[in-house]
Structure 1
Amino acid sequence: MIRNIISALNEKGIDYTLSAPMGSYTSFRTGGNAAILISPKNTDEIAFCTSLFAENDFPYMVIGLGSNLLFSDKGYNGAVIRLAENFSAITISGDTLTAQAGARLSAVCQTGFKNGLFGMEFAGGIPGSVGGALMMNAGAYGGEIKDVLISTEVLMPDGNVETLSNEECAFGYRKSVFKNSGMTILSATFRLKKAETESELEEAKQHLMELNNRRKTSQPLEFPSAGSTFKRPTGYYAAALIDECGLKGFRVGGACVSMKHAGFVVNDLHASARDIYLLMQCVQSMVMEKKGVALEPEVILIGDFNA
């Protein structure tokens, strides 16, 4: 089967890597290999690949910059379609900005500034892509993607390209209609604000700088991680619960609960994916035991984490 897939990819001239180490493509910097990593350059290539894999009953998934993913040490016996540098164009029209799914949120924010637009400062320091941000309705510092999105272009499971409105995305806290839907996010169009004066734009830039400085002082950005490891439980803050359980610095192998921010599990000593997985399980168990609160992972786990 895989020979037929490789032959078809070669015939179409689509870039791919065999036995791709997913630690090189995810922010945790650990994890096993994917059977094939695809780097499509346009929508036609994405559509061809999704159709090819479906026809051959070959497992596949679509990722962006991998800032919220953990692949198991055993890897992923399927294809990973990566929408990143090759699929990251950004265009401006009036006060709207359209970005392909692989565009970095930081680039979206900066491109807006260069064109006199602001309003995405809350997302300017989130280390992810547009596609990933829509998938989980990413947010920080009081803002969420749903607050600025007008519409998104998606590749449907049947191969058609459709445009979904903000409402049709069914956004909620760290969720959307896209999860497990078979839809592939291609691009997103955002409504920003046009700066009326240079000082208004400078104020927005200063606000982003202040938010990024807060991140640097309060978050362990010096170590590989996936950002906030757990979702915020209703009525609580995950980091506070973890801290109150005395888990800062708690370690499993090369993975550790950050001393700087208890909401972050970091890979500070060449952790395996299983180290991180087991540490997450320990934290969940201890918080449930001591606080009676169930923590739900924000990190998406991919593969088999059993020994």
Structure 2
Amino acid sequence: MQQVNLIQMFPGYDIKQNQALSAYTNTRVGGPADWIFWPKKLAELKDVVRYAHDQTIPVTVLGNASNLIIGDNGLSGLVIFLTNLTDITLDTHTVTAGAGAAIIDVTQVAAEHSLTGLEWAAGIPGSVGGAVFMNAGAYGGQVAESLVSADVLTPTGEIKTYTNAELDFGYRHSTVQATGEIILSATFALAPDEQTAIVARMEDFNTRRASKQPLEYPSCGSVFKRPEGYFAGKLIMDSDLQGYQVGGAQVSTKHAGFIVNKGDATGSDYVAVIQHVQATVQAKFDVALEPEVRILGK
């Protein structure tokens, strides 16, 4: 892997070597990546992905790095951030957005054009690609409800389009999680509505989010999936785990479903807290908590 020099192979491309991923993640944790690449356009992404495939270089794609934990030893191979692929376009009642666009920005564009259907995402700090990948959802809404199609890049550099049905959406699941394909863009079908009503709903969701969630600290968002018949946050709270801390990672005292970085957390700290929470809730309530957050690397 280290014999390859991607900077020399692709002059002019925005590629860095041996950079700590903690500088780019919402949790502010994560060791180095062999290579980090920020494609400025689709042609660059195709070039590098095809080369990585031919050279069997592992590829990890990150959006806004908001719903993941990266281990202290970092990630081998190539890490791609799609944060330059941010175009947002409208066609009557549909909105198409690049994978790197912030989902918050898409909700703002929809609201400006009096289109409803994405208000639930008004405060989610992720990217469009990440939202589709995870079938993100909040406040009763989710990606699957309005997504029409998504374009993806295959490991061999080909573009194909998935329909909503082909993405096989489930709770925090899409088929792309298993294919190794890179989401390039997504198209959402929305509906006309009064702009004042749309904005009011967005403001309500954001007010509720700010009052309940520990937005003042770095975090990976909601850590656990909702167990059937329960709420993860309440199980954790009823297990007296709020404030539980390993190193700099702490179960939030504001919302038990979040683990925050109090200043010097590592990936290992996060994983230790997650495992302790899982073991404690399992022992007390016989409920298995499954992480919603992606845990990558070692």
Residue pairs, 1:85-100, within 5 angstroms: 86-100=84-98
Residue 297 of structure 2 is aligned to residue 300 of structure 1: no
Q: Distance in 2 between the 1:225 and 1:294 partners?
A: 22
| CA-based RMSD | 1.1
* 1:230 corresponds to which of 224, 232, 245: 224
Q: Distance in 1 between the 2:233 and 2:208 partners?
A: 16
Deviation at 1:60, TM superposition (A): 1.4
User: The residue matched to 2:209 in structure 1 has which SS?
Assistant: helix
Q: Distance in 2 between the 1:212 and 1:4 partners?
A: 44
User: The residue matched to 1:132 in structure 2 has which SS?
Assistant: helix
* 1:219 corresponds to which of 213, 223, 247: 213
Deviation at 1:211, TM superposition (A): 0.5
Q: Distance in 1 between the 2:184 and 2:76 partners?
A: 24
Q: Which residue of 1 aligns with 2:71?
A: 72
* Superposed CA offset, 1:46-75 (max 9, x none): 111111111111111111000011111111
Q: Which residue of 2 aligns with 1:184?
A: 182
Deviation at 1:269, TM superposition (A): 3.0
Q: Which runs of 5+ in 1 are unaligned?
A: none
Q: Distance in 2 between the 1:234 and 1:118 partners?
A: 29
Q: Which amino acid aligns with 2:141?
A: G
Q: Distance in 1 between the 2:173 and 2:60 partners?
A: 17
Q: Which residue of 1 aligns with 2:21?
A: 22
Q: Is the CA contact 2:153–2:159 (under 8 Å) kept in the aligned structure 1?
A: yes
Q: Which residue of 2 aligns with 1:133?
A: 131
Deviation at 1:6, TM superposition (A): 2.8
Q: Is the CA contact 1:5–1:52 (under 8 Å) kept in the aligned structure 2?
A: no
Deviation at 1:4, TM superposition (A): 4.1
User: The residue matched to 1:178 in structure 2 has which SS?
Assistant: helix
Tell me how many residue pairs correspond in the alignment: 297
Q: Distance in 2 between the 1:75 and 1:158 partners?
A: 25
TM-score, with length taken from structure 1: 0.94
Identity %: 44
Q: Distance in 2 between the 1:61 and 1:146 partners?
A: 23
Deviation at 1:140, TM superposition (A): 0.1
Q: Which residue of 1 aligns with 2:272?
A: 278
Residue pairs, 1:101-116, within 5 angstroms: 101-116=99-114
User: The residue matched to 1:87 in structure 2 has which SS?
Assistant: coil
Cα separation, partners in 2 of 1:4 and 1:26, compared to 1, 3 Å: closer
Deviation at 1:298, TM superposition (A): 1.0
Q: Distance in 2 between the 1:288 and 1:185 partners?
A: 35
TM-score, with length taken from structure 2: 0.97
